[in-house]
A and B are shown apart, each in its own frame.
Chain A
Amino acid sequence: MQVNSNLGNDLKGLRPSALFMYMEEIMSSFFSYLINGISLGSIYAIIALGYTMVYGIAKMLNFAHGDVIMVGSYMTFLMASSLGLPPVLAVLVAVVVCTILGITIEKIAYKPLRKAPSLAVLITAIGVSYFLQNAALLIFGANTKMFKSVISLPAIQLADGNINISGETQVTIVVCVIIMIVLTTFIKKTKSGQAMLAVSEDKGAAELMGVNVNGTISLTFAIGSALAAVAGVLLCSAYPTLTPYTGSMPGIKAFVAAVFGGIGSIPGAFIGGILLGVIENMSKAYISSQLSDAIVFSVLIIVLLVKPTGILGKKIKEKV
């Protein structure tokens, strides 16, 4: 809005070439907003993948997912900053820890409730979320930790330095695309992937066909939590502060993204995440930085009213 009103005032008495330059400036800032939006969206997408897979297979909203992200970030922080491990190794440790954590949570808190009403599981998940947050508060303290980016790629300058794409942004987008491709291939081509599909379609029938249902569910939690660790590292590399509550808001946003794209659908989570990031950034840039959340949620509501199961819900058979 600011940009537009400035434009209106300044247009008077501008020569065509100046006008052209002005347009170019607007285009380049638009492009910056877009890239930043896609980068933020990629992180949402990776988190949303975890939500969507767990929902597809266990039919539960895993509210603790956002806090697994936080644990992953703290692990990377500890390994890289305190123990001085090289970034790649630190990330690896974080992924392993989160995977174990995910499986443990599933075994202790969710597995006994598999036949319970879905609301009971939802509340257990909230309990787990509170537990992780408060445990982190006691272990790591409330102080904000400055996360040192694990990415050391130089920034790309475009359009005479008007557009600046940071190393974190590049890596985030690339990693998101790779994860998306690998995950889709995994589900289509491998036996375990097929088992996941089968369990999400019909648990009983899958069991009769010899699928190890419990193992498959554990595997899903493991993959989801590993993805959460990756998302945590990327999130904190791009936005480098770390507190025990770092994961909760991105977690909720990613949940919205998963529903946006059609919960249970992997491409849906991807599209939903990217769209959410772009809408959030665009509304901050061009409408109001205070109302961006309200706008994001309004778009979600409108989408759901038009397509009650999300953008790619149901249509795509590829449910996990």
Chain B
Amino acid sequence: MKNKMNLTKSTKSTLITIGMVVVAYIIMMILTKAGALSSLMKGLLVPLCIYAIIAVALNLTVGILGELSLGHAGFMCIGAFSSAFFSFCFKDTMAAGPRFLIAILIGAGIAALFGLLIGIPVLRLQGDYLAIVTLAFGEIIKNVINVLYIGRDVDGFHFSMKDAMALNLQDGGQVIVNGAQGITGTPKDSNFTIGAILLVITLLIVLNLVNSRPGRAIMAIRDNRIAAESVGINITKYKLLAFSISAGLAGVAGVLYAHNLSILQAQPKNFGYNMSIMILVYVVLGGIGNIRGSVISAIILVLLPELMRELQDYRMLIYSVVLIGIMLFNWAPKARVFREKYSLKRLLSKKTAKEEK
């Protein structure tokens, strides 16, 4: 009986989260159709989905698995480049729908594969050491992609790590991945509907995993590794499972990213450690292990600097102050006392208590 209650509770929570996304989607679509949405918001719809997906993906690693990863932008980068490469090659020979579907599968699959390959040696490490190694992997991926040159001509594909001339392309050949200049001319297949669908699928995957038997095993490892091992949980297997799913979902975010812009370059800004850290900020702010929180905080933190454009030169400075302020507000002892005193819930309950009297 109790078990059943639990189940319905988690199902309810899942439904609320999914429902939230669906409602937000419907509102946005109505606003778009009515022409009431600003160009900025219209342009931000897909990025919002992208960052919400990657925040959920990282929360699976940080919150559910309990390991700190500073390399998720690297997985996003892999998903982006592998899928963009595919889409570019089949730009003229396939219809947009099936091509994008395959691109998503490729991006997710290759990112998950890398997650698995990296996870095997790395997940033995713990804490900050794991964090620094994932950071290192992210940087390696970015660095290697920046010196990667792939071209295509009548003889097939050519590959080089030096420069575009070393490809020795025949006349009429085409450089697809041009080192730091990246891939230019990826078809723009991403749109808000697909983004929202992918976000819902991501949420379903992660929330179902959390509420399943493997999910409970993963959380048992997080809470007490030795105890989990002693009851016969296969630590390596479950850690790898969570980590590669997380990497694969990050890859999906990368696919959306690559097909939203016509140019794809691996810059420190979009795929470097700075981005990994930014994603971590979304997760921590939304609550570690709180999937719904990740979605909300990703949306707020992506919107915040855009809405602060009026501040002009002071925009990023104030953004950083807000960041520090939120952290202090959330965790500083004095702020905690203050919050207890003036919390909304308490005020509300006081009110209702009075009314009851």
Chain A contacts to B: CB under 8 angstroms: 55, 61, 63, 109, 112-113, 115-117, 119-124, 126-131, 134-135, 137-138, 252, 255-256, 259, 263, 288, 290-291, 293-294, 297-298, 300-301, 304-305, 308-310
Question: Are the CB atoms of B140 and A113 closer together than 8 Å?
Answer: no
Question: Are the CB atoms of A297 and B139 closer together than 8 Å?
Answer: yes
Closest Cβ of chain B to A165, distance in Å, is: 30
Question: Are the CB atoms of B324 and A127 closer together than 8 Å?
Answer: yes
Beyond A63-B277, A127-B321, A263-B128: 20 further Cβ-contacts under 8 Å?
Answer: A109-B324, A113-B328, A123-B327, A124-B323, A130-B316, A134-B316, A135-B317, A137-B316, A255-B132, A259-B129, A291-B161, A293-B139, A293-B143, A294-B139, A294-B144, A301-B122, A304-B129, A304-B132, A308-B125, A310-B129
Closest Cβ of chain A to B26, distance in Å, is: 33
Residue pairs across A and B with Cβ atoms less than 8 A apart, 26 shown, are A61-B128, A112-B332, A112-B333, A113-B327, A113-B332, A116-B331, A117-B331, A119-B62, A120-B284, A120-B327, A123-B284, A124-B328, A130-B320, A131-B324, A134-B316, A134-B317, A135-B317, A137-B316, A291-B143, A294-B140, A297-B140, A298-B140, A300-B132, A301-B122, A304-B132, A308-B126
Question: Are the CB atoms of B314 and A138 closer together than 8 Å?
Answer: yes
Question: Are the CB atoms of A138 and B68 closer together than 8 Å?
Answer: no
As a 0/1 sequence over residues 53 to 69 of chain B, the CB contacts with chain A under 8 angstroms (1 = contact) are 00000000010000010
Question: Are the CB atoms of A123 and B139 closer together than 8 Å?
Answer: no
Complex Cα spacing A52 to B58, Å: 27
Does B235 sit within 8 A of A, measured CB to CB?
no
**Which of A120, A293, A297, A309 is within 8 Å of B129, CB to CB?**
A309
Complex Cα spacing A129 to B319, Å: 12
Q: A112-B334, A300-B132 are in contact. Are A130 and B323 (CB under 8 A)?
A: yes
B323: A residues at CB distance < 8 A: 123-124, 126-127, 130
Complex Cα spacing A119 to B139, Å: 21
Complex Cα spacing A290 to B161, Å: 9
Does B280 sit within 8 A of A, measured CB to CB?
yes
A304: B residues at CB distance < 8 A: 125, 129, 132-133
A117: B residues at CB distance < 8 A: 288, 331
Complex Cα spacing A310 to B136, Å: 14
Taking each of B124, B314, B331, B333, which has the highest tally of chain A beta carbons within 10 Å of its own beta carbon?
A: B331
A116: B residues at CB distance < 8 A: 327, 330-332
CB-CB nearest 9 A-B residue pairs: A112-B332, A116-B331, A130-B320, A127-B323, A297-B136, A127-B324, A131-B320, A294-B143, A134-B317
Q: A112-B332, A252-B273, A290-B147 are in contact. Are A126 and B129 (CB under 8 A)?
A: no
B277: A residues at CB distance < 8 A: 63, 126
Question: Are the CB atoms of B121 and A131 closer together than 8 Å?
Answer: no
Complex Cα spacing A290 to B179, Å: 11
Question: Are the CB atoms of B147 and A123 closer together than 8 Å?
Answer: no
Does B137 sit within 8 A of A, measured CB to CB?
yes
Closest Cβ of chain A to B275, distance in Å, is: 12
**Interface size in chain B (residues, C-beta < 8 A):** 45
As a 0/1 sequence over residues 109 to 150 of chain B, the CB contacts with chain A under 8 angstroms (1 = contact) are 000000000000110111011011100110110011011000
Q: A120-B284, A301-B137 are in contact. Are A288 and B121 (CB under 8 A)?
A: no
Complex Cα spacing A313 to B122, Å: 18
Closest Cβ of chain A to B319, distance in Å, is: 7
Q: Closest residue to A305 on the B side, CB-wise?
A: B121
Complex Cα spacing A255 to B43, Å: 37
Closest Cβ of chain A to B174, distance in Å, is: 23
The dominant DSSP class at the A interface is helix
Does B45 sit within 8 A of A, measured CB to CB?
no
Question: Are the CB atoms of A131 and B317 closer together than 8 Å?
Answer: yes
Closest Cβ of chain B to A80, distance in Å, is: 27
Question: Are the CB atoms of A301 and B133 closer together than 8 Å?
Answer: yes
Complex Cα spacing A315 to B125, Å: 17
Closest Cβ of chain A to B217, distance in Å, is: 23
List residues of B (76-129) whose CB comes within 8 Å of A's CBs. 121-122, 124-126, 128-129
Q: A113-B327, A123-B323 are in contact. Are A288 and B147 (CB under 8 A)?
A: yes
B125: A residues at CB distance < 8 A: 304-305, 308
Closest Cβ of chain A to B239, distance in Å, is: 15
B273: A residues at CB distance < 8 A: 252
Closest Cβ of chain B to A187, distance in Å, is: 22
Does B228 sit within 8 A of A, measured CB to CB?
no
Question: Are the CB atoms of B280 and A123 closer together than 8 Å?
Answer: yes
A119: B residues at CB distance < 8 A: 62, 68, 280, 284, 288
A300: B residues at CB distance < 8 A: 132-133, 136
A131: B residues at CB distance < 8 A: 317, 320-321, 324
B146: A residues at CB distance < 8 A: 290
B139: A residues at CB distance < 8 A: 293-294, 297
Question: Are the CB atoms of A301 and B68 closer together than 8 Å?
Answer: no
List residues of B (246-297) whose CB comes within 8 Å of A's CBs. 273, 277, 280-281, 284-285, 288
Does B313 sit within 8 A of A, measured CB to CB?
yes
Complex Cα spacing A188 to B237, Å: 45
Complex Cα spacing A119 to B321, Å: 17
Closest Cβ of chain B to A69, distance in Å, is: 17
B62: A residues at CB distance < 8 A: 119
Q: Closest residue to B322 on the A side, CB-wise?
A: A127
Question: Are the CB atoms of B313 and A301 closer together than 8 Å?
Answer: no
B137: A residues at CB distance < 8 A: 297, 301
B332: A residues at CB distance < 8 A: 112-113, 116
Complex Cα spacing A115 to B333, Å: 8
**Which of A61, A124, A138, A263 is within 8 Å of B324, CB to CB?**
A124
A298: B residues at CB distance < 8 A: 136, 140
Q: A290-B147, A293-B143, A298-B140 are in contact. Are A259 and B132 (CB under 8 A)?
A: yes
